[in-house]
Amino acid sequence: MPYTKVIWFNTTRSLLMLVQVGESRGIPTTIFYEKHGNGPNKVLFVMGFLISHRGWRTQVNAFRKVQPTEYFPENETDDMFNDDYEVVVFDNRGVAKSEPWSGRCTTKLLAEDAIELVQHLGWSQFHLVGISMGGMISQEIAYALTNPNRPASYPKMLSLALSCTHAGGRYAFAPLAGVKGILTSLTIKDPEERAKVGLPILFSDKHLAVPEYHERYWKSSVERSRLDGPPRRAIVHHFPFYFKELPITMNRLATFLGQFSAVSTHYVTEARLNVIRDSGAPILIMTGDEDKLVRWENSGILNDILVPAEYIVFHGSGHGINQENKEEFNKALFRNFERAMLREKKAGEQYMLLLPSQILLVLLFTFLILAQLVVLLLDDDCDKPLRLFVIVILVAELFVFGVGGGFLLCNHFYSHAEDGTRVKTAYNGFKMVTNCCTFFLFIFFLIWICIGASWVARVDVCEKHLYNLSLATVIIYFSIMGVTFFGTCIYGMKKKQVRYV
């Protein structure tokens, strides 16, 4: 069971705490986290390679009732934040204020750390946001929380936002410019000199050239004279944590090597991504098309597989889109949160609407098949062998449709349940049986087409009653298949929309 140790600082900022994770896995360590707000909607932010929780400050500030005048405002309390949200940011294993870590590191291991943190917080459900390596960790978290074999005690993921990240594969290697910049920065000790090398890796040239940063953030003329230009000077002081806390982490060589190994070996298969997609949680994917650390094509691959509710490409933006495009980035996050909350709110309403419609569909087909039987029995014009053959088909059709409809309803019940492993397995079983029944109904559909075609061809099969029944059956089948097909296409087209900013 994780323990908690409260860390007291010379500030009333929201809770800054440590929690031990990994003990049950035999790899215990202590990670640092910071909590803001106390609302019902929980949000976990997962940061990337060697960067501390402070990298999310622009997003944390977006949850405040009144925007601060300082980037790191002092005297923060929970009542200063949005009453609807509780936000947690943390330092990954071995990073910044978390305990140094010298063991092997993978994105799956870091994901398990984050899940233990969420369990320690007592969250039953939450929104998940990850950027860069944090997006890779978030993919592992998302799969762990949505796969059919997950522990029943795991919390529910309400939504997922992935930024400037990849799932592994052919585009996983960083562009040459990014690799060169990282290797060069490793040899520089002075944080400001490192900043001059590191900034072009994190941010686009367009962002580094904005004069507003000089006016907004640059205060000290003495410090200003030490660097080579107002725009870059401004960003160095606007984001000091990137380059002043980074040496603390990088001096822990084992942490650097461990996280580098985690990024290099990260791979989430398409099958696992499909599990995340099929969970139904709203997914948001964002990237910048001038990213020098993670090729933006990776987000396109994720978009094709995950079919997110929203896919945003920031033109002319680099890796740090949460800073470069903070307003659009934050608005997109809130849109995704709202999609998830609306989905949860309407789950009960949707349940009450879908269930009667499914029952109506079952009753409609049952009535149709029974009508076929009655008319056929009353029709004296059919010879007995044919009558027996058609009756057998109708009875089989009625049986298969009854089984399929019953399992469809069970499928619906289980898909709306708070399901653990056992229930999820049952759900998959119902789905398989329903698909089998659908196949057999399609076979019966073809038989009815043959019966109708034989009458049109003047083959002495049966009189017009049987033809009318077969025609009605074919029309109903075609109608349902057509509505389902076009509805799926339209829904899929809406989900595949890409937004360029």
Domain ranges of the chain: 4-171+257-345, 347-495
Q: Measured at the alpha carbon of residue 164, what is the angle toward residues 158 and 165, in degrees to the nearest 5?
A: 75
Average pLDDT over residues 336-355: 67
Nearest to 159 by CA among 137, 176, 138, 184: 138
How far CA 133 is from CA of 108, 137, 255, 264, 272, in Å, comes to 11, 6, 14, 10, 18
Identify the pLDDT of residue 239: 42
Q: Tell me whether strands 41-46 and 85-90 are parallel, antiparallel or unpaired.
A: parallel
What ranges make up the beta strands (E) of 67-124?
85-90
Cα distance between residue 147 and residue 275, in whole Å: 6
Report whether pLDDT(232) > 50: no
402 pLDDT tier (thresholds 50, 70, 90): low
466 or 82: which leads in pLDDT = 82
pLDDT at 460 over 70: no
Q: Is the pLDDT of residue 468 over 50?
A: yes
Q: Coil, strand or helix: which one is 289? A: coil
Beta bridge partners of 4: 19
Kind of pairing, strands 125-131 and 498-500?
Answer: unpaired
Q: Please say if the pLDDT value at position 384 is more than 50.
A: yes
Phi, psi torsion values for 167, nearest 5 degrees:
-105, 10
State how far the Cα of 297 lies from the Cα of 473, in Å rounded to an integer. Answer: 48
- Architecture per CATH, domain 4-171+257-345, reads as 3-Layer(aba) Sandwich (3.40)
Q: What is the pLDDT of residue 359?
A: 54
| Run of H or E including 273 | helix 270-278
Lowest pLDDT segment from 290-304, 336-350, 362-376: 362-376
| Pairwise CA distance, residues 282 & 309, whole Å | 6
pLDDT in tens, 133-164: 999 999 999 999 999 889 989 999 999 999 99
As given in the structure block, the two tokens for residue 238 are: 């606007």
Reading phi first (left if > 0) and then psi (alpha if -120 to 50, else beta), residue 132 is in left
The pLDDT, as a whole number, for residue 394 is 67
pLDDT confidence bin for 54, thresholds 50/70/90:
confident
CA 393, distance to chain mean position in Å, is: 45
